[in-house]
């Protein structure tokens, strides 16, 4: 389970970073352009498959980069938080008994 606040904030950043990167990638692949070759010019028809993602197309590269950065920082925080949350037992320094050979 979650060991401390650093680990939980790292996991939140990791999940939100993955969501933001997926959103940016979805906005990037949402764009399509179809150009026609006519003697009078080259008109292009721009289409978006999902209209809600159309405003995000111009920012899609930055959104993907921000999502990847959040994911990397989140995974680092989760790793550090996990390593700090593990309790190690102190080594038990007991006197060793002499080993006797039995025949």
**Residue ranges per structural domain of the chain:** 5-85
Q: Which of 61, 69, 64, 84 is nearest to 5 (CA)?
A: 84
Can you give the pLDDT at residue 5? Answer: 85
At residue 86, does pLDDT exceed 90?
Answer: no
Residues 25, 56: Cα–Cα separation, whole Å:
10
At residue 91, does pLDDT exceed 60?
Answer: no
Per residue in 34-72, pLDDT (tens digit) is: 887 777 767 788 888 888 999 999 999 999 999 999 999
H helix or E strand, kind and range, residue 32: strand 31-35
At residue 73, does pLDDT exceed 60?
Answer: yes
Rounded alpha-carbon distances, angstroms, from residue 28 to 11, 35, 49, 64, 71: 26, 19, 11, 9, 19
Per residue in 12-29, pLDDT (tens digit) is: 999 999 999 999 999 999
23, 56 contact by CB (below 8 A): yes
Name the residue with higher pLDDT: 99 or 14: 14
């Amino acid at each position: 389970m979650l060991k401390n606040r650093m680990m939980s904030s790292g996991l939140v950043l990791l999940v939100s970073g993955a969501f933001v990167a997926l959103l940016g990638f979805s906005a990037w692949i949402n764009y399509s352009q179809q150009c026609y070759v006519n003697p009078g010019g080259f008109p292009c028809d721009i289409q978006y498959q999902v209209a809600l993602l159309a405003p995000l197309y111009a920012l899609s590269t930055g959104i993907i980069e921000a999502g990847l950065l959040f994911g990397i920082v989140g995974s680092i925080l989760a790793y550090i938080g996990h390593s700090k949350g593990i309790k190690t037992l102190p080594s038990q320094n007991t006197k060793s008994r002499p080993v006797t050979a039995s025949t």
